[in-house]
Copies of this chain bind each other. A is one copy, B any other.
Amino acid sequence: MTNIQQVAKQAGVSVATVSRVLNGQNTVSSKTRIKVEEAIKNLNYEPSMLGRNLRNSESRILLILIPSISNPFYLEIIKGIEQIALSQNYNILLCETDSNPEKENIYFDLVRKKMADGIISMDPAVNIETLKELAEKYSIIQCSEYNLDSGIPYVTIDNEEASYRAVKHLIQIGHKKIALMNSDEKFLYARQREMGYQRALEEHEIPLNDDYIIYTKHLGFEHGQQAVKKILAIQDRPTAIFAVSDLLAIGALKEINASGLHVPKDIAVIGFDKIDFSNMTNPTLTTIAQPMYKMGTVAAEMLIDKIRGNDVDNVILNYELVLREST
């Protein structure tokens, strides 16, 4: 493997000059620049990131913490992150935590060990204490899920408002018996979306019915199936369901179909996220679209900014209601 010394020797200059050519510094005369470039070509030289990174004390790697790679919600965000990262010569390390503290710690270690320059955390189940502690020494951004008092910069949408909008839509098309399929209340977004749900009902003087609120442990398809079974078993069956994630909603769709009922005739369903798949179901899913790609680009920009030592502000992006067949 050829190194910078050999290039310097071949070109008859010092390593400093080669380095300058490599980094496009304009203090090199065009005559020597050409000599160096020829030597590089001759020797098939590729500068080693290992040396470069050590010298610059950086890894040019960004860590992305997600609970599960199977949830398509994150994929679009990741694409956004990647676009910005690549354009700034960063690479991204995708880290699936499975909401498992041990795995999480493996990844945290990567930034402690300088294997990564910063973290974008999207795991709602992240250990916030550790994250806070880490944020004192390293660059960290929270994306989608966040903590108000942590002091860690975040990008997100207004969950309460978006949820309110979703439920209001159901009310507007005539529903009064509306179930909420929520995830675990320990998550901030879950609490926020429940508040939006409540506000919409209150505003239209629909009494709150605790039986209509179902919690699931995770946001998976199967959990949607399970949860909807409970909802269908309720005596005074709801005529509409608001699920806080498309995956839950798609699980619900499937199970409702299986039970012989029809969406939206018997029960309307509305999801949250607008993942790719929400358009592939039968019927297609009405949902709240999160600007996922944008969220990714913003998060990446914030993180890189932070790595450079700048202060960054929190960002709240807009959502959109996407009307489709399921309502």
- Whether A131 is near chain B, meaning CB under 8 Å from some CB there, is no
Q: Tell whether A114 pairs with B221 under 8 Å between CB atoms, given A70-B75, A78-B69, A277-B277.
A: no
Q: Tell whether A280 pairs with B257 under 8 Å between CB atoms, given A54-B50, A69-B79.
A: no
Cβ contacts under 8 Å, A69 to chain B: 75, 78-79
- Whether A251 is near chain B, meaning CB under 8 Å from some CB there, is yes
Q: Shortest CB–CB separation between residue A188 and chain B, in angstroms?
A: 27
Cβ contacts under 8 Å, A59 to chain B: 49-50
Q: Shortest CB–CB separation between residue A45 and chain B, in angstroms?
A: 10
Q: Shortest CB–CB separation between residue A297 and chain B, in angstroms?
A: 15
Cβ contacts under 8 Å, A53 to chain B: 50, 53-54
- Whether A207 is near chain B, meaning CB under 8 Å from some CB there, is no
- Whether A94 is near chain B, meaning CB under 8 Å from some CB there, is yes
Cβ contacts under 8 Å, A47 to chain B: 113
Instruction: Tell me which of A75, A109, A253 has the highest count of chain B C-beta atoms within 10 A of its own C-beta.
Output: A75
Which residue in B96, B106, B113 is a CB contact (below 8 Å) of A48?
B113
Interface hits, A258-298 → B, CB 8 Å: 258, 276-277, 279-282
> Complex Cα distance A103/B75, Å?
18
> Complex Cα distance A114/B47, Å?
8
Q: Shortest CB–CB separation between residue A308 and chain B, in angstroms?
A: 17
Q: Shortest CB–CB separation between residue A181 and chain B, in angstroms?
A: 16
Cβ contacts under 8 Å, A79 to chain B: 69, 96
- Whether A57 is near chain B, meaning CB under 8 Å from some CB there, is yes
* Closest residue on chain B to residue A56 by CB atoms: B50
* Copies of the polypeptide in the assembly: 2
* Closest residue on chain B to residue A103 by CB atoms: B86
* Closest residue on chain B to residue A95 by CB atoms: B91
Beta-carbon contact of A112 and B82 below 8 Å = no
Q: Tell whether A221 pairs with B91 under 8 Å between CB atoms, given A50-B59, A59-B49.
A: no
Which residue in B49, B109, B251 is a CB contact (below 8 Å) of A114?
B49
- Whether A254 is near chain B, meaning CB under 8 Å from some CB there, is yes
Cβ contacts under 8 Å, A277 to chain B: 277, 280
Which residue in B70, B91, B280, B282 is a CB contact (below 8 Å) of A110?
B91
Beta-carbon contact of A254 and B282 below 8 Å = yes
Beta-carbon contact of B276 and A257 below 8 Å = no
> Complex Cα distance A280/B251, Å?
7
> Complex Cα distance A50/B69, Å?
28
Which residue in B86, B106, B115 is a CB contact (below 8 Å) of A106?
B86
Q: Shortest CB–CB separation between residue A179 and chain B, in angstroms?
A: 20
